[in-house]
Amino acid sequence: MSLWSRIANVFRPERLTREIDEEIQSHIEEAIAQGRDPAEARRALGPALRLREESRDVRLIAWLDSLRADAVFGWRQIMKNKVTSAAAILSLALGIGACTSAFRLIDALLLRPLPVAEPEQLYALARQVIGPEGKPLTFDSWAYPAFHLMRAAVRGQAELIAISYAERTDLTYGSDAEMEKAYRQYVSGWMFNSFGLRPAVGRLFTESDDLRPGAHPYAVLSYDYWTSRFGRDAKVIGRTFRIGNDLYEIVGVGPERFTGTEPGTVIDIFIPTMMHPGVQRSDWTWMRTLARVKPGVAMEPLRAKLGATSRAFEEERATGLGGIPKQQIDEFLNQKLLLEPAATGVSDLQNDYRTSLAALGVLVALVLLIACANVANLMTAQAASRAREMALRVSIGAGRWRLVQLVLVESAWLAFFAAAFGGGFAWWSAPVVVSMINPPHNPARLFLPADWRVLGFGLALTVGVMLLFGLAPALRASAVKPVSALKGGEDPHSRRRLMQALIAVQTAFCFLVLFVAGLFVATFEHLSNRPTGFSAQRLLTLETVTVSPQPAALWDQVAEHLRVVPGVETVALASSVLLGGWSWNNWISVNGAPPNGVLAYLLQVSPGWIDAMKIPLIDGRDFRPADTYPGVAIVNRTFAKTYFNGEDPVGKPFEVVFSVGKRLRFEVVGLVGDVTYRDIREPILPQAYFPFHSIDAKGALQPIGQGTFIVRTSSANPLALASILRRELPRARPEFRVSNIRTQTEIDQSHNVRERLLARLALFFGVVALLLAGVGLYGVLDYSVLQRRREIAIRMALGAQAGDVARRVTVDVFGMVLVGACAGLALGFASVRYIETLLYQVKPTDPRMHALPALTILAAALLAALPPVIRAVRVDPATTLRAE
Amino acid sequence: MPKPDSLQGSLDLLVLKILSRRPRLHGYAIMTAIKDMSGDVLRAEEGSLYPALHRMEEAGWIRAEWITKDTGRRARLYELTVAGKKQLAAEESRWQVVTSAVNRVLRMA
């Protein structure tokens, strides 16, 4: 009770004082009533002020009271300079908000442990080979039979868990007309148990759900999917859905926080690995392998054992490969098995964005530091104008720490408001950035909880920021010497030196931010302007699936139906889209020779495809309706260069060498221009196109289960036709259904999503940094002109010219800007190797990359210097000197 | 913090004792009671009384209550709490120990 009343009394000081005074008063009245002399009674009591102070100090917490008084005073100071305070708060808020937002993203994607039991025991198995250019390449995909052997080999020391790559798939809970999409993941039956997870409803898989291929048609839903799709209906257990021709029964729902092991993707449906079509294939790598290592097991022997098992498996497999150069097989076999900690899960998004997020984190931290420097300068300038007030406080007995507290409390106000606004900014901006990460049709989903980790970071950041910008001015203010300050000013240069040093720091950071932003923007420009070799304009792609594989003639019939839809120019068919992320490759043999080790990339296309894609036909002809696979092929220039020594290959034969030793023979009927196939960054690949219609060994046409209609429309906005085409397709044949519609432009752009994001955010923060640095420069110059008014007036009175005055006022500061820019350049050179992997065809040493930030900063500095310089040259000597 | 004075230590004891005998007294009455009961020997320094009262109040030994007197003025009345009774017993026994020790020294020396 007493502590509470003492705290409470801090916040009702008037009432406390009144009560004390009233009690004293009643004492005196009592004394008078007893017949004592009023003056004597008062004298006996002692000075009322001292009594009041003594009682006050007993009845409240003294330090809290002084803090309260400072808070009230600080608030008045902030309200007195509304504009500057708002500018300070805004710039700090932007910095704090951006940093917190970056932390939220980094934490959610890279730092936060999976919500499973003992996540630190989890490791991911990967393999490292030395790639064609001598650079190590790491891949984490495994074939199930290899996984099976490795699991048996380390039983007792570690539990291996197979988890497929998350995949968006079509499924239906009812008729084929009600197809929908969901993220599906194949997982080992023992995964849930090993992760220590409990079902929300129903049951989770066990080892016995994952024993025989194709024998366990069960599914576990994720809690998130259960919530969004079924509104947490417990009756969902026992319901069935169909993927392709397989019917699955829902047996349970996973725990609330578990969204799979791939940060960036929220899994909807888990299915036992034994249901994967490739579970028995040793040449199909479709899954990751996680290992839960038992405590106390030595890592290196475990790694060696896994590596030996994996190598034995691959050697066994290699004996079945015919006609592939031995050297190449050896190169593949010489792989090193890696065990990488996977407490935070494993996902491609992590690998893709690790460096990007770190780079962005550094950029926003720099922006925050620039903002801090600004506010520190602001506080220093304010402290200067308050030097007399401080001196007065010291002379009437304020201690040094009391003054530090006074100024720090004012800083705390700024930091508090900045943190509040910054928190709001982080709340809003983190999900926006996540939504920009992936292309719109396939958004990344990242859980961004605002829990103690984020709050703690924000709080620590706020306190750190407050000390950063508040401590130096506070110490400086408290070191005031009453005598010199009251006499009319101490050495003004010492204060200006601190401010100018901060200007140099600001300029250096600003230069760095602009330099990096320039690199990112140039990378994005180069990538988006890279020629693809085909025209994406007005192209719409319709990924289509059928209930069961349909005769080839029906696909042609549907294409024919789409061709007459108004607004459609041409329609072609292909097994997939270019740059769609899908790829099919194989070795090529010419004249029966062994393959030269370069893989060719393959695609099945219908007649009219090269025309629809506007790929130039250089020689030969397009496919005809009767052409089939195997039989004839169209190849690109790079293919001719790679396998035919650059000669015109039209009319010549080649063979595709399959791993199992099977060879298929094709005759080149056409030569076309080069196009990008898989990734917009990589060099052009040798490509061969085959007819869309396949025949089996007996010459019978094969039915087709999925394909992509490539539609060139006549309107500039192809998406306008999307809904019509989606309706028309099943109208042509009810077995056909569109599973995805995208424009080719969107597909092309999905390759520079990361670069676009980096370029946009870096540019945004570059502008902010420039703005802040400009404001800071303006503030310092303005302050220095104000301080040197007398000096300027005297100089002008003695005949100094305007140019001379302007030079005098600005020369120091511009020197600092120069120093800062040089430091920024050095920082840029030092830091560029960390972001090299994010750049594309951009040379950090390119002088243009330096000139741009330098010129921008110079322009900003000139602009910021203009108003103070004008003010300086307009100083009227007569008025100024008379006023002083 | 209030400065220690000559009656410090014993002032608390006297105030607590008086309040244990006569509950609900205001400051002036406590002061008069000390004076009267000690036969004018002990005199609480008026300036120290109120800080001491407030200190004991914050310590939870006594509690205070405002009343309105007939004159319309408000007065603050103090009374002992349970913790105050314990404190009184402790201080009293401490006082006995100290005084008997002092007496012994005076006798022996």
The per-residue pLDDT for range B23-57, each reduced to its tens digit, is 888 888 888 888 888 887 777 777 888 888 888 88
| pLDDT score recorded for residue A470 | 84
Q: How far apart are CA A855 and CA A291, in angstroms?
A: 54
Question: Do A199 and A303 share a structural domain?
Answer: yes
Answer with the one of A343, A367, A401 that is the final residue of a domain.
Answer: A343
Residue A155 placed within a domain: yes
Question: Do A552 and A516 share a structural domain?
Answer: no
In order of A574, A640, B33, the CA distances from A654 in angstroms are 22, 11, 122
Question: Do A592 and A524 share a structural domain?
Answer: no
Closest to A55 (Cβ–Cβ): which among B32, B51, B73? B51
| Residue segments in chain A with a per-residue pLDDT below the cut of 70 | 1-2, 131-133, 176-177, 320-325, 439-443, 485-495, 659-661, 883-884
Contact state of B50 with A20 under an 8 Å Cβ cutoff:
yes
A544 forms beta bridges with A707, A738
At A748-760, the pLDDT tens digits run 888 888 888 889 8
Element (H, E) at A370: helix A348-385
Question: Do A520 and A549 share a structural domain?
Answer: no
Q: How far apart are CA A95 and CA A465, in angstroms?
A: 10
> DSSP letters of A121-151?
GEEEEEEEEE-TTS-EEEE--EEHHHHHHHH
- Residue A483, burial from CB neighbour count under 10 angstroms (0-12, 13-18, 19+): exposed
- Measured between CA atoms, the residue of chain A closest to residue B76 is A23
Q: How far apart are CA A181 and CA A408, in angstroms?
A: 56
Residues shown for chain A? 884
Residue A728 placed within a domain: no
In order of A71, A526, A813, A861, B94, the CA distances from A850 in angstroms are 46, 18, 21, 17, 83
Which CATH number does the domain B10-108 belong to among 3.40.50.300, 1.25.40.10, 1.10.10.10, 3.40.630.30? Answer: 1.10.10.10
Dihedral-angle region of residue A614 (phi above 0 means left; psi in -120 to 50 means alpha; beta otherwise): left
| Nearest partner of A729 among A555, A574, A537, A549, judged by Cα | A555
Residue A676 placed within a domain: yes
- Residue A645, burial from CB neighbour count under 10 angstroms (0-12, 13-18, 19+): exposed
Residue A228 placed within a domain: yes
Domain ranges of chain B: 10-108
- Residue A47, burial from CB neighbour count under 10 angstroms (0-12, 13-18, 19+): exposed
Percentage of chain B lying above the pLDDT 70 cut = 92
| Nearest partner of A426 among A156, A96, A52, judged by Cα | A96
Q: How far apart are CA A624 and CA A563, in angstroms?
A: 17
CB A96 within 8 A of CB A419: yes
| Nearest partner of A506 among A83, A857, A103, A868, judged by Cα | A857
A4 to chain B: which residues are within 8 Å by CB? none
Answer with the one of A283, A314, A343 that is the final residue of a domain.
Answer: A343
Residue B86 pLDDT exceeds 70: yes
Instruction: Read off the tokens for A375.
Output: 């506010």
The residues on A that touch B, with CB distances below 8 Å, are 1-2, 5-6, 19-20, 22-27, 29-31, 34, 44-46, 50-51, 54-55, 57-59
Question: Do A776 and A685 share a structural domain?
Answer: no
Answer with the one of A343, A378, A410 that is the final residue of a domain.
Answer: A343
Residue A81 placed within a domain: no
Closest to A1 (Cβ–Cβ): which among B28, B50, B60? B60
Closest to A51 (Cβ–Cβ): which among B1, B32, B47? B47
Question: Do A398 and A359 share a structural domain?
Answer: yes
Placement of tokens 């509040």 in the chain:
A420
Contact state of A2 with B60 under an 8 Å Cβ cutoff:
yes
Q: ipTM score of the complex?
A: 0.83
Question: Do A863 and A775 share a structural domain?
Answer: yes
Contact state of B76 with A29 under an 8 Å Cβ cutoff:
no
| Nearest partner of A187 among A113, A259, A120, judged by Cα | A259
Tally the domains of chain A.
4
Placement of tokens 């090993």 in the chain:
A194
Question: Do A454 and A513 share a structural domain?
Answer: yes
Instruction: Read off the tokens for A479.
Output: 């070191």
Q: Is the pTM above the cut of 0.90?
A: no
Question: Do A410 and A523 share a structural domain?
Answer: yes
**B76 in contact with A, Cβ within 8 Å:** yes
Contact state of A23 with B50 under an 8 Å Cβ cutoff:
yes
Question: Do A596 and A523 share a structural domain?
Answer: no
**B46 in contact with A, Cβ within 8 Å:** yes
Range of the domain at A147: 119-343
Q: How far apart are CA A392 and CA A651, in angstroms?
A: 99
Assign A575 to helix, strand or coil.
coil
End-to-end CA distance of chain A, in Å?
Answer: 57
- Smallest CA–CA distance, residue B51 to chain A, in Å, is 5
Residue A726 placed within a domain: no
Question: Do A584 and A563 share a structural domain?
Answer: yes
- Residue A21, burial from CB neighbour count under 10 angstroms (0-12, 13-18, 19+): middle
The more confidently predicted of residues A286 and B2 is A286
At A292-345, the pLDDT tens digits run 999 999 999 999 999 999 999 988 887 766 556 677 777 778 888 999 999 999
Q: How far apart are CA A362 and CA A552, in angstroms?
A: 55
**CA-based diameter of chain A, in Å?**
134
| pLDDT score recorded for residue B40 | 79
B57 to chain A: which residues are within 8 Å by CB? 2, 59
CB B79 within 8 A of CB B63: yes
| Nearest partner of B43 among B85, B5, B4, B7, judged by Cα | B7
